[in-house]
A and B are shown apart, each in its own frame.
Chain A
Amino acid sequence: QKEVEQNSGPLSVPEGAIASLNCTYSDRGSQSFFWYRQYSGKSPELIMFIYSNGDKEDGRFTAQLNKASQYVSLLIRDSQPSDSATYLCAVNPNNNDMRFGAGTRLTVKP
């Protein structure tokens, strides 16, 4: 089992819709969780981080964490074509390093 799993996609949504990106992780002791956005040929850019169970909202983005289910998600409301990118889920299992999922490619169609 991979440490961090994501659906590779591609996930396609129409402009204005809600995009839902999901991630599961294997290390039950993980305590911090991150979502990065990576445009093609560019470096990852931090979008959100979450530490506590529940929802965390920042603008059009909402991160959701359920530690009992070892599940973290990212919702993007009112999706825009500029949101088209690969979204990387990252988990910090031991304070020394970050484990990344392979990413989900999102396409927002105008």
Chain B
Amino acid sequence: NAGVMQNPRHLVRRRGQEARLRCSPMKGHSHVYWYRQLPEEGLKFMVYLQKENIIDESGMPKERFSAEFPKEGPSILRIQQVVRGDSAAYFCASSPQGPDLFYEQYFGPGTRLTVT
């Protein structure tokens, strides 16, 4: 499967626990983006990363949320001390490396987080 991979597909956490979402970009892609989608709403940008660098985290909540994209392994979106309002679908997308201004993002299947 050469597409963007995310796991787990479904995640249930109790309030106060930590949620860890993983994303492996498409082969050859080194740019990763995380989005959150609430039911019946559009996608909200959270963070843009390249290998070992956070390029833009302007959409990330200031507390409890963090993201990384290490040199080896998948990108991780971590939510600490989850609350019910964190329940949403979290999508990862990747785009190809390159100097071009124009690019397309390809989405993974998403992780549906439910906080009970």
Q: Do A and B bind each other?
A: yes
CB distance from A50 to the nearest CB of B (A): 10
What are the interface flags for B39-74 relative to A under an 8 Å C-beta threshold, 1 for contact and 0 otherwise?
001111100100000011011000000000000000
What is the interface size of chain B, counting residues whose CB is below 8 A from a CB of the partner?
A: 24
CB distance from B32 to the nearest CB of A (A): 11
What is the interface size of chain A, counting residues whose CB is below 8 A from a CB of the partner?
A: 23
Q: Please give, as numbers and ranges, the residues of chain A lying within 8 Å of B42 by CB-CB distance.
A: 88, 100-103
CB distance from A88 to the nearest CB of B (A): 6
Q: Please give, as numbers and ranges, the residues of chain A lying within 8 Å of B106 by CB-CB distance.
A: 46
Chain B residue at minimal CB-CB distance from A44 = B107
Q: A42-B109, A44-B43 are in contact. List 18 more A-B contacts (CB 8 A).
A: A36-B107, A43-B107, A44-B107, A45-B107, A46-B106, A46-B107, A90-B43, A96-B48, A97-B45, A97-B48, A97-B59, A98-B33, A98-B45, A98-B93, A100-B44, A100-B45, A102-B41, A102-B42
Residues of A within 8 A of B (CB): 31-32, 34, 36, 42-46, 49, 51, 88, 90, 92, 95-103
